[in-house]
Amino acid sequence: MPRTILLVGAGKSASYLIHYLLEESMAQDLVLRIADKEPDNLPEAVLRHDRSEVFQLDIADAPARREAVSQADIVISMLPPSLHLELAKDCLECERNLVTASYVSEGMRALDAEVRAKDLIFLNEMGLDPGIDHMSAMQVIDRIKSKGGELLLFESFTGGLVAPQSDTNLWNYKFTWNPRNVVLAGQGGAAKFIQEGTYKYIPYHKLFRRTEFLEIEGYGTFEVYANRDSLSYREAYGLQDALTLYRGTIRRVGYSRAWNIFVQLGMTDDSYQIANSQGMSYRDFTNLFLPYSPTDSVELKLRHYLKIDQDDILWGKLMELQLFDGDLKITQANASPARILQEILESSWTLGPEDQDMIVMYHKFGYSLGGKKHQMDAHMVVLGENPSLTAMAKTVGLPVAMGTLRILNGEVSARGVQIPISAEIYNPVIEGLAKNGIVFREVEKPYLGYNPDSVAS
């Protein structure tokens, strides 16, 4: 009998995942059952594949969801993070292993004892970031420790960007993953990290003005801003004694300074609704956040309020988004400012038919070995093929697929709610990624520690 993999959610990030599993389906005797709210959107090659079964599933339909889980040998959830938990409970009830690409939520973590009791593994954070970042970092950290080295510093940054040849707007940015996550980035508490033994905190309203420069050979200069909680992986990575632990997000230089305008205006706020949002013009939406004036235009008020000169590149970026257009209308009713901003940005930042995306990941390891301090930098750059076969889908989907097959084949001994930080997971997956062109380049450098001269603003 063929073994059945149930994939729940077949959005943009699932394209390579589906392709990989169908490519392996004959050799590994697999059937891929794909459940999605709108299955007809899948490519014909998937719909007609001999080893795929595509069907419509409303994730809120609990009986249908549990029935689908019960018919599978293992389950992959590519749903939005908020929807994983109910599916995870179905997997517990039906005693099925689960793989996701999302961060471990508190609700998921609370299932750990039950998952272990049923001899199951719920493998989370198996995508790009989180995912490849964990695996690539732990492979080097374990290698250094196996030689007797002591980790002093670990920095890690990842960005989903547009490829250089697709930098067609002033922001040098388009959406390559969930736009809502981009709009809400950095919210929910201060960014926390440690540098040279000192704890640091950056509140949200300062986050996008505390950036640092990063140079990637062959790809130029980037900027990074701090992730919300860099300290949460100290124990998982075994870095309790490291003097520096700092994780962040990569953007092209100038993005953060411009994004800070939205933060300061309040456009990224998701905590309240604007009652009359539907039909409101982009111009009127922008004016909501500015002081009243009987004479000054919206443009003039914004420039004065944020002290932006008319010839500043920031002004060009705002104009490019048509924020002052009186004819373009918001389509959402009773939407939060963040929801409205997302709608406006999606009209400008969607990948075009000729666009390619780009994933950039960078790690810096500082360690002592043999009485000397050493530093090693490692970076990975992956280019997408087109708006469907994106670098984001490749780097998220392939690790999920590879981890799923290892569990299905009985090659993972870990049980409970897990992330991919053990060698039995990361070594074969990193090897498999390399065969698919996802490779880290490692360079030994003189130890510099944390370099405050890199602070850009």
Torsion of CA 303, 306, 312, 315, to 10 degrees: -60
For residue 48, pLDDT over 70 is answered with: yes
**Per-residue tokens: 203:** 């509140």
Say if CB 22 and CB 5 are below 8 A apart. no
Contacts of residue 443, Cβ cutoff 8 Å, sequence gap at least 6 = 376, 377, 378
pLDDT at 454: 44
* Helix (H) or strand (E) segment spanning residue 239: none
* Distance between CA atoms of residues 75 and 90, nearest Å: 10
pLDDT in tens, 139-170: 999 999 999 999 999 999 999 999 988 877 99
Q: Is 169 left (phi over 0), alpha (psi -120 to 50) or beta?
A: beta
Mean pLDDT of 243-270: 96
What DSSP line would sit under 312-337, residue for residue? SHHHHHHHHTTTT-SS-B---SSB-H
pLDDT at 155: 96
State which amino acid sits at residue 158. T
Segments making up each domain of the chain, as ranges: 3-123, 132-258+352-391+437-454, 271-346
Say if CB 277 and CB 335 are below 8 A apart. yes
How far, in Å, are 63, 80, 171 from residue 181 at the CA level? Answer: 30, 11, 17
pLDDT in tens, 294-343: 999 999 999 999 999 988 999 999 999 999 999 999 999 999 999 999 99
How many helices (H) and strands (E) are present in the chain, helices listed first? 17, 16
Q: Which fold would CATH assign to domain 132-258+352-391+437-454?
A: Dihydrodipicolinate Reductase; domain 2 (3.30.360)
Alpha carbon distance, N-terminus to C-terminus of the chain: 60
Mean per-residue pLDDT of the chain: 94
For residue 453, pLDDT over 60 is answered with: no
Q: Which of 43-47, 143-147, 357-361, 363-367 shows the lowest mean pLDDT across its residues?
A: 43-47
CATH 3.40.50.720 fits 3-123, yes or no: yes
* Distance between CA atoms of residues 110 and 232, nearest Å: 17
For residue 457, pLDDT over 50 is answered with: no
Instruction: Note every long-range contact of 219-222, with CB atoms under 8 Å and residues 24 or more positions apart, other chains counting.
Output: 219/164, 219/360, 219/381, 220/164, 221/253, 222/159, 222/250, 222/251, 222/252, 222/253, 222/360
SS3 label, residue 440 = coil
pLDDT at 336: 98
Contacts of residue 448, Cβ cutoff 8 Å, sequence gap at least 6 = 366, 375
Whose CA is closest to 118, among 92, 139, 98?
Answer: 92
* Cα 441–chain centre separation: 21
State which amino acid sits at residue 314. L
pLDDT at 456: 36
For residue 448, pLDDT over 80 is answered with: no
Angle at 335 between CA 330 and CA 339, to 5 degrees: 80
Please report which confidence band the pLDDT of residue 178 belongs to, taking 50, 70 and 90 as the band edges: confident
Say if CB 66 and CB 35 are below 8 A apart. no
